[in-house]
Amino acid sequence: MERDSRLLLSFYGDDFTGSTDVMEALALSGVPTVLFLQPPTAELLADKFANIRAFGVAGVSRSLATDELERELRPVLERLRDIPTPIVHYKICSTFDSSPKIGSIGRAIDLAAGVWPGQRYVPLLVGVPQLRRYTVFGNHYAYADDAIHRLDRHPTMLRHPVTPMDEADLRVHLSRQTNKSIGVMDILDLSGDLHRVRERLEARMSGSPDVLLYDVLDEERLKRAGELIWEAADRGETRFVVGSSGVEYALAAHWRELGLTGAAPQNELEPRGPVDRLLAVSGSCSPVTESQIRHAIECGFVGVPVRAERLVDRAEAERERSRLAERANEILRHNRSPLLYTALGSEDIAIRETRQRLESDGIDRAPAANAGQLIGEQLGRLAREVATANNLTRVLVAGGDTSGYVTRELGIYALETAMPLDPGGPLCRAYSEDPAFDGIEIALKGGQVGQTDYFTRVLEGR
pLDDT in tens, the chain (462 residues): 344 558 999 999 998 878 888 998 999 888 999 999 999 998 999 888 988 999 999 988 998 999 999 999 999 999 999 999 999 999 999 999 999 999 999 999 999 999 999 999 999 999 999 989 999 999 999 998 889 999 999 998 988 878 999 999 999 999 999 999 999 999 999 999 999 999 999 999 999 999 999 999 999 999 999 999 999 999 999 999 999 999 999 999 999 999 888 765 544 677 889 999 999 999 888 889 999 999 999 999 999 999 888 877 778 888 999 999 999 999 999 999 999 998 887 665 555 555 555 555 555 444 444 566 778 888 999 999 999 999 999 999 998 778 878 888 888 999 999 999 988 889 999 999 888 899 999 999 988 889 999 999 999 998
pLDDT of residue 388: 94
Contact of 56 with 19, CB cutoff 8 Å: yes
How many whole angstroms separate alpha carbon 207 and alpha carbon 187? 18
Q: Of 140, 123, 124, 120, nearest to 132 (Cα)?
A: 140
Distance, in Å, from the CA atom of 397 to the CA atom of 421, rounded to the nearest integer, reads 14
Residue among 45, 263, 285 at smallest CA distance from 164: 285
pLDDT of residue 81: 95
Asked if 428 contacts 437 with a C-beta cutoff of 8 angstroms, the reply is no
Confirm if 135 and 214 have CB atoms less than 8 A apart. Answer: yes
Determine the pLDDT at residue 356. 57
DSSP three-state, residue 229:
helix
pTM of the predicted protein model:
0.83
Pairing of strands 394-398, 279-282: parallel
User: pLDDT at position 347, please?
Assistant: 62
Report yes or no: 305 and 348 within 8 Å, Cβ to Cβ. Answer: no
**CA–CA dist 354, 373 (Å, integer):** 13
What is the distance between the alpha carbons of residues 146 and 133, in angstroms, rounded to a whole number? 13
Q: Which amino acid is located at 424 in the chain?
A: G
User: What is the rounded distance in angstroms from the CA atom of residue 23 to the CA atom of residue 34?
Assistant: 7
* Residues in a beta bridge with 428: 417, 442
The residue type of 334 is H
